[in-house]
Chains A and B, each alone.
Chain A
């Protein structure tokens, strides 16, 4: 997926696997825990703002809102529940 913002192109993609979702932006990536069930929406765990500041890689530290909103846009809210921890 390519998103244009402020005249610059930001390339990113979101890869889903069994127990994780990986957001990739150019050469950087950040993984989120995914908890699947059976015939229920999977849960994606998003670190709280405080936890994000402590644990996110430096390139992503100030981009929580934009990354989370891209995850929601890409994955949709039908198949997924987004939960903060």
Chain B
């Protein structure tokens, strides 16, 4: 092996090492975030929680919460904390979605009273239907669900 080949082999090894290091860093971040997601505060006062999913529904939900003094997950301390972690720039999308999906599930588990849902046109295989709605249905503190168009 000549000098140039040795240098090339060294560069390849370094690049591979950097990738492994980056992957390990991502895994550590994901593990740390998932641990924290289990304990951060996503509690809302009774009758305050708003849920949304699907086309055009964020704008409707946000207008509704502004006009009726309600809250979405983004307004809870836990939602603000996770938002600040900048997950979608630091982790693969699938891992960021897993973290947010779990936080959403906890948000639904801790809701109480009447909740408002803006999910018209939402897909059945998405976070609302597979995580949030089942959690709401198993939550005895939730006394009613209002579905808006």
Residues of chain A having any CB pair with chain B under 8 Å: 15-20, 31, 33, 35-40, 42-43, 45, 47, 79, 83, 85
Contacts and interface: CB of A to CB of B under 8 A. Distances in A.
Given A17-B83, A17-B88, A36 B54 contact: no
Contacts of A42: 93, 97
B126 A36 contact: yes
B97 A31 contact: no
B100 A18 contact: yes
Interface of B: 52-59, 73, 83, 88-89, 93-94, 96-98, 100-101, 104, 121-123, 125-127, 130-131
Main secondary structure of the interface of B (DSSP, over half): helix
Contact of B97 (A38, A45, A85): A38
A40 B131 CA distance: 14
B54 A33 contact: yes
Contacts of A19: 52-53, 58
Contacts of A35: 53-55, 122-123, 126-127
A35 B57 CA distance: 10
A20 B58 contact: yes
Given A17-B83, A18-B100, A42-B97, A37 B55 contact: no
